[in-house]
Structure 1
Amino acid sequence: MKSLLTGSILALTIGLQSSALLAKPNGDQNWEYLQPNREQVIASLNIVELLKRHHYNKPPLNDVRSAEIFNGYIEMLDPSRSYFIASDIAEFEKWRTQFDDFLKNGNLEPGFTIYKRHLDRLEQRLDYAIGMLDKGIDQLDFTKDEDLLIDREKAPWAKDLAEQDDLWRKRLKDEILRLKITGKEPQAIQELLLKRYKNQRTRLSQTRSEDVFQAYINAFAQSYDPHTQYLSPENAENFDINMSLSLEGIGAVLQNDNEYVQVARLVPAGPAEKSKQLKPADKIIGVAQGNDEMVDVVGWRLDEVVKLIRGPKGSVVRLEVIPSGNAPNDQTSKIVPITREAVKLEEQAAHKSILHLQQNGHDYKLGVIEVPAFYLDFKALRAGASDYKSTTRDVKKLIDELQKEKVDGLVIDLRNNGGGSLQEATELTGLFIEQGPTVLVRNSDGRVDVLADESEEVYYKGPMAVLVNRLSASASEIFAGAMQDYHRALILGGQTFGKGTVQSIQPLNHGELKLTLAKFYRVSGQSTQHQGVIPDITYPANMDTKEIGESALPHAMPWDSIRPAIEPEKDPFKPFLTELKTRHEARTQNNPDFVYTRERMALSQELMKETTVTLNEAKRRAHQADVEKRQLALENALRTAKGEKVLDKLEQEDDSLPRIDEPKTKPEDDAFLSESGKILLDYLGLNTNPPRHEARR
């Protein structure tokens, strides 16, 4: 999609700097060297103008927006309300409705002042924790009955430093207990935490003006939506590297999660995905090069962790991760070695398999086409190569091959497909429908562009199902939504991610701005934003939709609808959906994989509701033992049902544990894929006039 902006940057008048600075608490470090420079002021003014003119929503920059910026900035700096004290917030409060004026005038001083106060408080807290650890962890009483509030998003601010000291005493006890329960010895715990806090203290003194500017401007930019983001010159370079895949890494998209760096998603066919040991929502707590000593990265900035993980092709990086499946307070970690390599386009290619099923005494063959990403070799295409790779070209070949096998239907597997080329999503849709619209793109000026399939023929007319999950995003949602709106396929699985916005990179005099300037809509007029695609038949989720997905992001743009591009036609699936759901529920009620997924998620959600933890070691160990007992019971129930060896204890390093909702060696071993095939066969049995399976030649 062409950029909707001309790329011109406006040179605006720099406003007067505020002289109303807040008093600095006593501290060792002098942060006065952290001052905004002229380039940052001009960049901030340009960002204000770009958002005003070109952001999709064009919301006004007023007192209401100022309050959102204020709240977002404080939350960004102190999400657990563990650093600022009540008097700090009271001092900042006078600026709550003034950030709109500050930004319009190029006044960055208030943003810098708040950040420097945050550094003061962080310095105090690190010094306090180091001081306590220097006395030895044996001076802490773990027999005392006291609790720590861990869900502090709405907790009151500590009224003074004494109250904050008590909070941090409890936080330190909690950290020690978590490590004790993983089996670490007291001396090792003391050394680890001292090293962690001292490293954080050292890096604090390395804070740059650009760090402050980036945090403050992003609090402003992301008050519009989570994908509008300022990229510093260094981060802009990293973004370009990631997009071009010109530097080898592990093939994972990372994001900040409070003090941790968390896996957001895995790149299809990348080293991390192929390792089968890293999953979305895993927390990275350590990074090591080859056999070198593990570097603790808790509390590090995202860009610092990325630098450690990135490296030359063929080299090995070891990650210490806390698996996403752990209970919230379980710090048990595992080591994941990954060999860095570039992600090759051919490894992301769609591939086929045949699902053999028996139903009602008959044998059936269903073709399965797994599409890991919507890819297109732009370089080969521009060079005029006749054999350039693309999703649509590959899927056409696979359909031809499956037709020769005389399959009874087709399942398109889009699980974990994070999207890719919009052009390919449109062209792939065209293989299965007659000529018509495929997706609508509404721009910030209200204009709606219609992307369409121009071919009047249908390449494949046979019965279809499309399998999706929470990590099916963007282009995947466009394709799945079109298949649902045209009533061309049954949509099965989980609610998709809900990423329905379009961003463009705009250069600035200093860094870049990633700007949301359009929104996707299905041909039915429904947005894919926030809500995603809702399957016709929903499977149990293996990840919490409240934690992962567009709707989990702050300031996510809402779902809405516009005028549809097609007239609604009679839905051939609707008369049979009730019966299809009834059969599906009966079939999966006692299916080991479905039971495991439902009960594992129920346990996870139960544990996530816990807002406090006990700091009594005996009670904490008893609670952890109970959680592990329940987790082990779930694992062993699944293993027993499948005739596999049961475990005596949970083993994080045991890679033989079943993985639900991931492709297996044989298609039939994938419970969700097999169930999708059975639902499609149910439909063919109920419908006396199903689509004919034929291919266009």
Structure 2
Amino acid sequence: MKTPLARATLLVVFLSALLASFAHSAGNPWDELEPSRKQVIASLNTVELLRRYHYSKLLLDDARSRLIYQGYLKMLDPSRSYFIESDIKEFDRWQTRFDDLLKKGDLEPAFTLYKRYLDRASEQLDFILAELGKGIGAMDFSRDETLQTERKDAPWLKTRAERDDLWRRRLKDEVLRLRITGKDDQAIEEQLTKRYRNQLTRLAQTRAEDIFQTYINAFTGSYDPHTNYLSPDNAETFDINMSLSLEGIGAVLQSDNDFVKIVRLVPAGPADKSKQLAPADRIIGVAQGNGEMVDVVGWRLDEVVKLIRGRKGSKVRLEVIPASNAPNDKTSKVVVIIREAVKLEEQAAKKSLLHLTRQGRPYTLGVIDIPAFYLDFKALRAGREDYRSTTRDVKRLLDELKQDKIDGVVIDLRNNGGGSLQEATELSGLFIRQGAVVLVSNSNGQIDPLFAESDGEQAYYSGPLTVLVNRLSASASEIFAAAMQDYHRALVLGGQTFGKGTVQSIQPLNHGELKLTLAKFYRVSGQSTQLRGVIPDISYPTLIDTKEIGESSLPQAMPWDSLNYPSKNSSIPANPFTPYLYELQKRHDQRVAANADFVFTRERLALNQRLMQQTEVSLNETRRRAFQQSIEAEQLALENTRRKAKGEEPLQSLSEEEGDNGLQVEAEKPKPEKDAWLVESGQILLDWLDLSHSALASH
């Protein structure tokens, strides 16, 4: 017997199907969409700018046409669940022609392909709504069915019947996920019906500009992931593709199939200070204040951004799937963030003291946390002598640390996404006497070295130094860390960095803008920071998945290479660390073998990697719940083992970790002695002092 909601849903679905049938008979709202003259000219301008100025000087030929074609299909149908084999066979006639079409300004095939996607998506949404109209009670969750969750390389579905069966299974999967979170069937029907009706509405609102932007970005994306077309709306209102920085919560976002994924948190931003969001978390809902949660699954990135942005001081609620979940676990939590602008003072470098004891002797190390490379250009241009910059602040902090009679310094660049190249170069000058810090290779083949200069005969700080990095240390952070490593000035510790070693510039078009890769960064060793980033001298385990976050996770990322540049510099000393690296690594391994935080990270990483191998989920409710419970029990056991080793109270459930019901709490930064990665970096620095002093004494 159907519930009143089910009957109402059935009526809505019937009316939707009736309207859809009428729309199909009268022509879809997107049938008349055609490229404009401005778009044709913009496409021709883009072709010419890429030909003349892109760093790689790549040919627009049949091989690139295939890349454009595959990239366009992936943008439209990343999970191969809309198009069927006959569609692809029809489209294949264009796969080596997009180069010629672009050179002529012919956009018609791109529009034809996109409109076919709209047809197929509309058909599938009608199908899903009809299935929901039958009621969740009509679904059989006792059958031993499975769903393939990783379909990016799956064969194209042969028939509509196969496609319908895939979507039927997907619907069962969504219902199961929501049941496991505790929602009843009535609430689930309401949520999913609203989700798919909204998606159907957004399809009908597709504009020619949406088609043009997607296609041109498939074209530019065949060169590298940072060369992007910005539509007039995006270029005018906010630069999503340039930095994705959202004034209000402080997060860097990107599209991830039907989800919007957090790439990184802006240091000192509201999201970062809340300590409740993390890289690779996926946003599935947005609510204003205490208002209704809007389901944003399947929405475009710019639409989600508009919901998240808002007035300073206002509250936004985000429903997110945490990255810490098992790969196929879509259970979510709600986080409350108060929107505010990120202040320069909060991103400024800060110092702290790390107190360690070695063989009964106390040591004091200075820790300088640099969240970003900043320079107050406005104050500098105004001629103010007290303008703020990373280098000026770090210099002042070093003076203060010298007063504390420190034994060494740890520069903490974890999560530092970069910023001012000038500051990365000048900061290097505090730690080396002089020399090139980075080489900038331009598209015309010219190589420009950027130099650091010390104020005196010696570096401003010449004492023991380590630099701590992770996967979210990017761009300017990588340049500084690489310089410290290449000049043998510091031991670099932590995780492999992001690997963004390219430079972009905005080029105006007659219609929108083009963000174009014009140059590439190289280390003084001649090696690029592109793709590989900086490899630490001693590596720490990390829970950040390099397949999800980092340059190597991006399609068509430019390759790593090296320059034959005469960068041998008499000021670069022999590497003092080389004779001791084996012993440093050995001592590190012995220490962290039983360190609770390191053990937890290694074992949780192993669990995640094991779960990543599973590309199917059960649609049998009993088995699904049992599997979910087993994974949660394993995660809880790992967490409680860590807590027990650290003398902390165990948790009864993983939900206890989330804090005050998802409310924003501005967590205080823990003391350095509580940060296992900082402590280990300090211990390695003391190992180096011990070994080098012993070597000197033996001579």
Q: Does 1:296 align with 2:298?
A: no
Cα distance between partner residues in 2 of 1:649 and 1:407? 42
Q: Secondary structure at the match of 2:477?
A: helix
Q: 1:626 to 1:499 in 2, by over 3 A?
A: same
Cα distance between partner residues in 2 of 1:454 and 1:689? 33
Cα distance between partner residues in 2 of 1:130 and 1:44? 38
**What's the counterpart of residue 643 of structure 1?**
647
CA contact (8 A) 2:348 2:372 kept: yes
The C-alpha deviation readout for 1:502-556, integer Å capped at 9, x for no partner, is: 0000011111000001000001111000000000000001211122110010000
Q: Secondary structure at the match of 2:137?
A: helix
CA contact (8 A) 1:259 1:300 kept: yes
**What's the counterpart of residue 513 of structure 2?**
512
Kindly provide the amino acid, as one letter, of the partner of residue 598 in structure 1.
R
Cα distance between partner residues in 2 of 1:615 and 1:338? 35
**What's the counterpart of residue 373 of structure 1?**
372
Q: Does 1:528 align with 2:538?
A: no
**What's the counterpart of residue 575 of structure 2?**
571
Q: Does 1:668 align with 2:673?
A: yes
**What's the counterpart of residue 213 of structure 1?**
212
Q: CA deviation at 1:92?
A: 0.2
Q: CA deviation at 1:27?
A: 9.1
Structure 2: segments with no counterpart, 5+ residues: 1-22, 662-666
Instruction: Output the TM-score relative to the length of structure 2.
Output: 0.93
Kindly provide the amino acid, as one letter, of the partner of residue 472 in structure 2.
L
CA contact (8 A) 1:178 1:329 kept: no
Q: Does 1:48 align with 2:47?
A: yes
Q: CA deviation at 1:26?
A: 7.7
Q: Secondary structure at the match of 1:518?
A: strand
**What's the counterpart of residue 56 of structure 2?**
57
CA contact (8 A) 1:56 1:517 kept: yes
Q: CA deviation at 1:688?
A: 2.2
1:98-177 equivalences under 5 Å are 98-177=97-176
Q: Does 1:184 align with 2:189?
A: no
Sequence identity of aligned pairs in percent? 68
**What's the counterpart of residue 3 of structure 2?**
none
The C-alpha deviation readout for 1:382-429, integer Å capped at 9, x for no partner, is: 110000000000000000000000000000000000000000000000
* 2:606 equivalent among 597, 602, 621: 602
Q: Does 1:460 align with 2:461?
A: yes
Q: Secondary structure at the match of 1:120?
A: helix
CA contact (8 A) 2:62 2:96 kept: yes
After superposing the two structures, state which structure 1 stretch, 474-483 or 233-242, moved more: 233-242
The C-alpha deviation readout for 1:123-173, integer Å capped at 9, x for no partner, is: 000000000001101111111111111111111111111111111111111
Cα distance between partner residues in 2 of 1:133 and 1:653? 35
CA contact (8 A) 2:246 2:305 kept: no
CA contact (8 A) 1:246 1:342 kept: no
Q: CA deviation at 1:223?
A: 0.3
Give me the CA root mean square deviation: 1.9
Kindly provide the amino acid, as one letter, of the partner of residue 680 in structure 1.
L
Kindly provide the amino acid, as one letter, of the partner of residue 418 in structure 1.
G
The C-alpha deviation readout for 1:424-454, integer Å capped at 9, x for no partner, is: 0000001000111010000011110010013
Q: 1:461 to 1:689 in 2, by over 3 A?
A: farther
Q: CA deviation at 1:656?
A: 8.9
Q: CA deviation at 1:613?
A: 0.9
1:360-509 equivalences under 5 Å are 360-455=359-454, 457-509=458-510
Q: Secondary structure at the match of 1:379?
A: helix
Q: CA deviation at 1:230?
A: 0.2
Structure 1: segments with no counterpart, 5+ residues: 1-23, 692-697
CA contact (8 A) 1:334 1:652 kept: no
Q: 1:246 to 1:668 in 2, by over 3 A?
A: closer
**What's the counterpart of residue 636 of structure 2?**
632
Q: 1:681 to 1:663 in 2, by over 3 A?
A: farther
After superposing the two structures, state which structure 1 stretch, 155-164 or 562-571, moved more: 562-571
Q: CA deviation at 1:234?
A: 1.1
Kindly provide the amino acid, as one letter, of the partner of residue 601 in structure 1.
L
Q: 1:293 to 1:44 in 2, by over 3 A?
A: same
Higher helix share: 2
**What's the counterpart of residue 236 of structure 1?**
235
CA contact (8 A) 1:182 1:331 kept: no
Kindly provide the amino acid, as one letter, of the partner of residue 429 in structure 1.
S
Cα distance between partner residues in 2 of 1:206 and 1:334? 30
The C-alpha deviation readout for 1:303-358, integer Å capped at 9, x for no partner, is: 01100010111111111111110112222211111111111111100000000001
Q: 1:293 to 1:575 in 2, by over 3 A?
A: same
CA contact (8 A) 1:493 1:538 kept: yes
**What's the counterpart of residue 560 of structure 2?**
559
Q: Secondary structure at the match of 2:655?
A: coil
Kindly provide the amino acid, as one letter, of the partner of residue 674 in structure 2.
D
Instruction: Output the TM-score relative to the length of structure 1.
Output: 0.93
Cα distance between partner residues in 2 of 1:656 and 1:409? 39
Kindly provide the amino acid, as one letter, of the partner of residue 566 in structure 1.
K
CA contact (8 A) 2:465 2:489 kept: yes
Q: 1:266 to 1:259 in 2, by over 3 A?
A: same
Q: CA deviation at 1:653?
A: 5.8
CA contact (8 A) 2:245 2:253 kept: no
Q: CA deviation at 1:620?
A: 0.8
The C-alpha deviation readout for 1:565-602, integer Å capped at 9, x for no partner, is: 23464210010000000000000001000001111111
Cα distance between partner residues in 1 of 2:147 and 2:247? 42
Cα distance between partner residues in 2 of 1:248 and 1:542? 27
Q: Does 1:684 align with 2:689?
A: yes
1:78-93 equivalences under 5 Å are 78-93=77-92
Q: How many residues align?
A: 664
Cα distance between partner residues in 2 of 1:523 and 1:27? 65
Cα distance between partner residues in 1 of 2:103 and 2:242? 32
CA contact (8 A) 2:284 2:319 kept: yes
Cα distance between partner residues in 1 of 2:536 and 2:384? 38
The C-alpha deviation readout for 1:473-497, integer Å capped at 9, x for no partner, is: 0000000000000000000000000
**What's the counterpart of residue 542 of structure 2?**
541
Q: Secondary structure at the match of 2:362?
A: strand
Kindly provide the amino acid, as one letter, of the partner of residue 682 in structure 1.
D
The C-alpha deviation readout for 1:621-662, integer Å capped at 9, x for no partner, is: 1111110010000110011111111112211663399xxxx9
**What's the counterpart of residue 9 of structure 2?**
none
Q: Secondary structure at the match of 1:687?
A: helix
Kindly provide the amino acid, as one letter, of the partner of residue 524 in structure 2.
V
Cα distance between partner residues in 2 of 1:64 and 1:588? 49
Q: CA deviation at 1:607?
A: 0.8
**What's the counterpart of residue 6 of structure 1?**
none
**What's the counterpart of residue 317 of structure 2?**
318
Q: CA deviation at 1:183?
A: 1.2
Q: Secondary structure at the match of 1:459?
A: coil
Kindly provide the amino acid, as one letter, of the partner of residue 82 in structure 2.
Y
Cα distance between partner residues in 1 of 2:639 and 2:689? 35
1:186-335 equivalences under 5 Å are 186-240=185-239, 248-335=247-334
Q: Does 1:620 align with 2:621?
A: no
